[in-house]
């Protein structure tokens, strides 16, 4: 089966992300746009994928892209506040919204652990371990009695008045990444496991605990992508609302009541479908994932970038922004489908036994995808 993206396309998209990166290592939404820690991290993970892939044929260019990914991690470390957080929105180096979004603050843990898995560079993991530790501890100050995590923390320590399902599922993913990094470096995750178990239970069993964002496709598939739902339960959730959010031949809707399909949601759905690997639903899930990723290519720009979305009824690109997080998500999705790096099944690996309330895994090393096992 032909690859979802060719090596040349991966290199081109990585080069786009590198051009977009500021001299300080920041990866904004788009050149001149706002910055936040979550979308910055998604883009730098794309740089990591492209760097590893390109390094196989061009060591100089591959290392340049990986150096850009490390510069992105360094920017996070340099801009982290003393309480472990980052501002919700920054523009041109100035803080626009000083509150911290808990999901944004948790996600750098995923970026650090992904880099370690993709490259095998434990020194990078050790360098940014204090950043991850402080960020996760900050986020967990917002965990409520029901296990959910409030969506924001203001500068005075006050909590947002609701929790978001997508955000909490993403935080769960970040917690397991942080636990994995801790174990890899010889640290004890301590209370993080219990916090993650409580959060996973809320995501699985307490939909009423979250604000109503049912019209958003992310609320549909993120419990699978974040690792709260696995196996038959994961497939049942995806199948139940497939027709509501997946517009066959066009892409994945951002919301169910608008004719707007987006690259980011599509790529993340691909990664969620790849979380069904190893189950009886794998063949169907992978076939759908490959089709969805192929449809996203209508958003590809000539320089390797991706437009954010497309309004089907108007036959129009909208907004006219080529976003770094979209490019990063597409590269991660291509890796999940085709086993391009040692971190290819990174998101599937978040469905560890710990998430399923079973005994802890004996190793923090995730198994390589089958395509890579066959070449070794």
Identify the helix (H) or strand (E) that includes residue 90.
strand 89-91
C-alpha dist (Å) from residue 202 to 107, 175, 213, 237:
19, 14, 16, 16
pLDDT at 362: 28
Q: Which of 112, 90, 117 is nearest to 41 (CA)?
A: 112
Identify the helix (H) or strand (E) that includes residue 311.
strand 309-311
Handedness of CA 341, 281, 286, 316 (dihedral sign): negative
DSSP three-state, residue 247: strand
Residues of the chain with pLDDT under 50: 355-376
**Angle between the 165-184 and 217-225 helix axes, to the nearest 10 degrees?**
20
DSSP per residue over 41-82, as a string? HHHHHHHHHHHHHHHTT-HHHHHHHHHHHHHHHHHHHHH--T
Distance CA 95, CA 269 (A): 32
pLDDT in tens, 313-334: 999 999 999 999 999 999 999 9
pLDDT at 349: 65
Burial letters 243-259, b for 16+ CB under 10 A, else e: eebbeeeebbbbbeeee
How many C-alpha atoms does 318 have within 13 Å on its Cβ side? Answer: 12
Distance CA 79, CA 59 (A): 30
pLDDT at 348: 84
C-alpha dist (Å) from residue 305 to 225, 311, 317, 338:
24, 18, 13, 20
Tokens describing residue 41: 């991290």
Q: Is-contact 200 152, C-beta < 8 A?
A: no
DSSP three-state, residue 246: strand
Q: Using CB atoms within 10 A of its CB, is residue 191 exposed (0-12), middle (13-18) or buried (19+)?
A: exposed
H-state helical runs in the chain: 7-20, 37-55, 59-79, 102-106, 108-119, 122-140, 165-184, 192-205, 217-225, 231-240, 242-245, 263-274, 282-296, 324-338, 370-373
3-state secondary structure 322-352: ECHHHHHHHHHHHHHHHCCCCCCCCCHHHCC
Q: Is-contact 265 217, C-beta < 8 A?
A: yes
The rounded Cα 224 to chain-centroid distance in angstroms is 12
73: phi then psi, degrees, rounded to nearest 5: -65, -40
> CATH says 7-373 is which class?
mainly alpha
């Amino acid at each position: 089966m032909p690859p979802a993206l060719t090596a040349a396309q991966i290199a081109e998209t990585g080069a786009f992300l590198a051009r977009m990166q500021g001299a300080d290592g920041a990866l904004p939404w788009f050149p001149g746009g706002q910055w936040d820690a979550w979308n910055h991290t998604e883009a730098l993970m794309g740089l990591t994928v492209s760097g590893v892939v390109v390094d196989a044929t061009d060591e100089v260019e591959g290392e340049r892209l990986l150096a850009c990914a490390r510069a992105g991690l360094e920017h996070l470390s340099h801009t982290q506040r003393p309480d472990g957080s980052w501002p919700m929105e920054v523009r041109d180096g100035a803080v626009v919204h000083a509150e911290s979004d808990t999901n944004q603050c948790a996600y750098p843990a995923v970026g650090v652990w992904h880099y370690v898995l993709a490259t095998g560079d434990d020194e990078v993991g050790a360098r940014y371990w204090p950043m991850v530790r402080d960020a996760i501890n900050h986020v967990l100050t917002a965990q409520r009695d029901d296990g959910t995590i409030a969506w924001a923390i203001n500068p005075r320590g006050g909590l947002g008045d609701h929790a978001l399902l997508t955000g909490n599922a993403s935080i769960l993913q970040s917690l397991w990444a942080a636990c994995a990094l801790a174990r890899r470096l010889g640290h004890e995750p301590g209370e993080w496991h219990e916090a993650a178990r409580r959060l996973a239970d809320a995501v699985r069993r307490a939909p009423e605990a979250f604000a109503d964002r049912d019209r958003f496709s992310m609320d549909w598939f993120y419990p699978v992508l974040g690792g709260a739902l696995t196996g038959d339960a994961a497939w049942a959730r995806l199948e139940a609302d497939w027709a509501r959010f997946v517009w066959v031949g066009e892409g994945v809707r951002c919301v169910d009541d608008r004719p707007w399909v987006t690259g980011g949601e599509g790529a993340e759905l691909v990664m969620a479908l790849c979380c069904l690997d190893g189950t009886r639903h794998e063949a169907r899930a992978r076939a759908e994932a490959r089709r969805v990723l192929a449809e996203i290519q209508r958003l590809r720009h000539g320089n390797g970038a991706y437009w954010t979305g497309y309004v089907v009824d108007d036959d129009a690109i909208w907004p006219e922004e080529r976003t770094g997080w979209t490019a990063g998500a597409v590269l991660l999705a291509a890796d999940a489908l085709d086993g391009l790096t040692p971190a290819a099944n990174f998101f599937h690996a978040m469905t560890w036994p710990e998430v399923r309330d079973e005994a802890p895994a004996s190793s923090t090393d995730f198994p390589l995808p089958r395509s890579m096992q066959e070449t070794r």
